[in-house]
């Protein structure tokens, strides 16, 4: 019984850590205060623990009516599970169907009784920019400095909190996690989700089993055996990636783990403007751990992937100090905006380390601190806050748009063949701070602060995002030209070549005249009228301004002669011209000939220039 009493005494000591803020509930003995986990735009998980095995629920709403309820699932933890002298019960409830960017109030009930009477519990779901988040690491030493930082952070209003590892010292047992993690940060954790990455001390107890047990973290696309060790998620226009630089990295280096392959694929998939990667072992910091072989692995195996995907900022721990690198690419310092800034935030409460001179370092300080990171569209500002509330360092990142010579393609075929008056896509990184699309015609020449010009002429924009811009080319520019993309953070120029004709059929662009799509499940009927939608068909017989919709009935036809090649047959369509209401999109109408059932190749030839080939399923009419 002594261990149980001592545990409760530490958990409830209001003098040091005002854990409960009131008397214990009669329905159950609350051991770990309710905390928010895996908070997203449409869901959240609420977790708490009690000494008794009781049924619980979470009532919640965004209008303080607590009109919705989610039942809790309960898991028993015995002394054999935890190494402690008593059994306790962990409860978690999934709150689904939430609205994005909304504040919710919640309360935890057991047998109809509120477990936290008098306390206002709330959280805010994932929204959009601007927002701020906190980050820190190497914290759980139960020092006065850890407590001071925890008190400062509890006064902040962040959207989320990142931890760069070593949640507790000397190891992350269940007991230490309670005393040196939850007891310090419960004021924040009851309203803000923590998204940690594990450090080496978190692994020192049964390969991070307690660390994995107490957290509910994203698992999408992560191999099941690695759930909770590394993961990614979006918030606003930021894609966050938490890596595990311990066992998963060692396995990946040895060829038996998939974390690095997952990292490469994850960064390739994201369309967010900002990509923030965080993990424990820093590749370029100095201090007592700078010769750590794991940091060498990070330099050799992780950093090249971050370079490949042009990651603007990486957060680390391990060195008990604050350090900011110069922009780094390929292991060397480069110009601002051309590399990754590595920030070591290892001053969360543990004993501090010195910061030796570093040729790749911009600033360093042996100081307890945390980071406040402010995201405002295409600007990201990092502030390092010490225990007295003053700033150690402040810097702002404004990465310019990045696009290469091969990044401008035909929107329909994604080939480099561009046709006058057709649609063009520009692919790259950091092109626009947000995703947006034109809402009306004529198309705007500026969208979300981004513009695109061709030889100085502004182009109408359909769609903008961090990785892709869609626009319409002018009818009158043929040959070599210069395309310039301008955003809030700068501009980039790429050379292009535009042909008079470059027909390209859109994927899924074969439809019936009634607008339904031709597919394997709904093949074209022999003798049925078909419309093919494409771009790059060149000049028209009547003038139409770019960005404008076609008018008249029928719409303007193309100047070039057009032939349909389908299933080995060649014939002239009934119409080839602009599609009504769709700038830069052309429509070719024809009647499906009588062909054997099955898939048949289709291409459109304009002025002797063939389009890409698409396969169209055909079936005989039903009798």
Q: pLDDT tens digits, residue range 65-110?
A: 999 999 999 999 999 999 988 999 999 999 999 999 999 999 999 9
What H or E segment, with its residue span, contains residue 268?
helix 259-269
For the domain covering 408-499, report its CATH number.
Answer: 2.60.40.10
Distance CA 42, CA 59 (A): 16
Owner of token pair 């100085």: 456
CATH 2.60.40.380 intervals, the chain: 1-126
Cα 348 from Cα 185, distance rounded (Å): 12
What's the confidence (pLDDT) of residue 246? 98
| 244 pLDDT more than 70 | yes
- CA nearest to 545, candidates 503, 578, 498: 578
Look at 195-199, 237-241, 343-347, 526-530 and tell me which has the smallest mean pLDDT.
Answer: 526-530
What is the model's pLDDT at position 551? 81
DSSP 353: -
Write the pLDDT tens digit of every residue in 456-488. 999 999 999 999 999 999 999 999 999 999 999
pLDDT band at 153 (very low <50, low <70, confident <90, very high): very high
Q: What is the mean pLDDT of the chain?
A: 94
Residue 622 pLDDT greater than 90, yes or no: no
217 in helix, strand or coil?
coil
pLDDT tens-place string over residues 417-429: 999 999 999 999 9
Q: What span, in angstroms and rounded, lies between the C-alpha atoms of 599 and 491? A: 45
The answer to whether residue 585 scores a pLDDT higher than 70 is yes
Which parts of 119-199 fold into alpha helices (H)? 144-154, 174-177, 183-189
pLDDT band at 526 (very low <50, low <70, confident <90, very high): confident
pLDDT at 623: 58
For the segment 261-289, the average pLDDT, to the nearest whole number, is 98
3-state secondary structure of 74: strand
Sequence ranges of the chain with CATH classification 2.60.40.10: 408-499, 504-619
CA dihedral 492, 494, 500, 501 (to 10 degrees): -90
Q: Is the pLDDT of residue 303 over 70?
A: yes
Q: Measured between alpha carbons, how far is 610 from 563 in angstroms, rounded to an integer?
A: 9
Q: Where in the chain is the domain with CATH 3.60.21.10?
A: 128-398
- Find the mean pLDDT for residues 492-507: 97
Amino acid 26: pLDDT:
63
Contacts (Cβ under 8 Å, ≥6 apart) of 88:
31, 49, 50, 51, 77, 82
- The H-assigned helical ranges of 69-158 are 79-82, 144-154
Class of domain 128-398: alpha beta
- Which of helix, strand or coil describes residue 340? strand
Dist CA 62 CA 195 (whole Å)? 23
CATH class of 1-126: mainly beta
Q: Is 221 left (phi over 0), alpha (psi -120 to 50) or beta?
A: left
Residues 6+ apart with CB under 8 A from 543: none
Q: Is the pLDDT of residue 8 over 80?
A: no
Q: What is the pLDDT of residues 183-202, one digit of tens each?
A: 999 999 999 999 999 999 99
Note the pLDDT tens digit of each residue in 331-363. Answer: 999 999 999 999 999 999 999 999 999 999 999
Rounded to two decimals, the pTM is: 0.92
CATH of 504-619, picked from 3.40.630.20, 3.40.50.720, 2.60.40.10, 2.40.50.140, is 2.60.40.10
Say what the pLDDT of residue 341 is: 98
Arithmetic mean of pLDDT, 134-156? 98
| pLDDT at residue 621 in the model | 77
* CA atoms in the 13 A half-sphere facing the CB of 378: 22
């Amino acid at each position: 019984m002594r261990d149980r009493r001592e545990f409760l005494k530490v958990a409830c000591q209001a003098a040091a850590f005002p854990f409960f803020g009131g008397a214990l509930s009669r329905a159950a003995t609350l051991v770990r205060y309710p905390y928010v986990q895996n908070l997203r735009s449409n869901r959240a998980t609420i977790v708490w623990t009690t000494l008794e095995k009781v049924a619980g629920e979470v009532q919640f709403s965004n209008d303080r009516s607590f009109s919705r309820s989610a039942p809790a699932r309960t898991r028993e933890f015995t002394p054999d599970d935890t190494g402690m002298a008593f059994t306790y019960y962990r409860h978690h409830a999934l709150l689904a169907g939430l609205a994005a960017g909304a504040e919710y109030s919640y309360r935890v009930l057991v047998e109809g009784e509120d477990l936290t009477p008098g306390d206002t519990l709330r959280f805010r779901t994932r929204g959009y920019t601007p927002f701020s988040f906190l980050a820190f690491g190497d914290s759980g030493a139960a020092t006065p400095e850890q407590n001071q930082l925890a008190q400062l952070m509890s006064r902040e209003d962040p959207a989320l909190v990142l931890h760069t590892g070593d949640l507790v010292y000397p190891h992350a047992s269940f007991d230490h996690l309670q005393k040196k993690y939850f007891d310090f940060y419960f004021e924040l954790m009851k309203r803000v989700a923590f998204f940690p990455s594990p450090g080496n001390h978190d692994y020192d107890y049964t390969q991070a089993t307690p660390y994995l047990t107490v957290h509910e973290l994203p698992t999408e696309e992560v191999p099941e055996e690695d759930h909770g060790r590394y993961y990614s998620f979006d918030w606003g226009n930021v894609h966050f990636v938490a890596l595990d630089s311990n066992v998963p990295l060692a396995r990946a280096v040895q060829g038996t783990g998939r974390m690095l392959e997952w990292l490469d694929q994850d960064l390739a998939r994201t369309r967010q403007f900002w990509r923030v990667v965080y993990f424990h072992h820093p590749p370029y910091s100095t201090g007592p751990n700078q010769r750590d072989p794991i940091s060498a692995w990070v330099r050799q195996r992780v950093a090249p992937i971050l370079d490949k995907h042009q990651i603007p900022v990486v957060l680390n721990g391990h060195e008990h100090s604050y350090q900011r690198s110069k922009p780094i690419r390929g292991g060397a310092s480069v110009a601002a905006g051309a590399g990754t800034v590595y920030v070591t935030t290892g001053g969360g409460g543990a004993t501090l380390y010195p910061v030796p001179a570093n040729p790749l370092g911009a600033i360093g300080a042996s100081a307890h601190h945390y980071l406040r990171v402010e995201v405002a569209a295409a600007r990201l500002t990092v502030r390092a806050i010490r225990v007295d509330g003053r700033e150690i360092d402040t810097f702002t990142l404004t990465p310019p748009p990045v696009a290469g010579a091969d990044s401008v393609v035909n929107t329909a075929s994604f080939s480099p063949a561009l046709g006058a008056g057709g649609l063009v896509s520009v692919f790259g990184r950091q092109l626009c701070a947000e995703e947006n699309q034109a809402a009306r015609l004529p198309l705007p020449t500026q969208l979300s602060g981004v513009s695109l010009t061709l030889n100085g002429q502004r182009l109408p924009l359909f769609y903008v995002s961090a990785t892709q811009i869609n626009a319409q080319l002018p009818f009158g520019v043929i040959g070599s030209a210069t395309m310039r993309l301008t955003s809030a953070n700068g501009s980039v120029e790429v050379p292009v070549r535009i042909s008079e004709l470059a027909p390209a059929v859109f994927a899924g662009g074969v439809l019936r005249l009634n607008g339904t799509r031709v597919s394997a499940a709904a093949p074209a009927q022999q003798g049925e009228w078909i419309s093919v939608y494409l771009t790059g068909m060149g000049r028209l017989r009547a003038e139409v301004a770019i960005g404008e919709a076609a008018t008249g009935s029928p719409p303007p036809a193309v100047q070039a002669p057009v032939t349909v090649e389908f299933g080995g047959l060649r014939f002239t369509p009934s119409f080839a011209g602009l599609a009504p209401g769709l700038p830069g999109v052309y429509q070719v109408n024809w009647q499906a000939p009588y062909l054997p059932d099955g898939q048949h190749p289709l291409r459109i030839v304009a002025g002797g220039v063939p389009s890409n080939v698409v396969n169209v399923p055909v079936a005989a009419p039903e009798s």
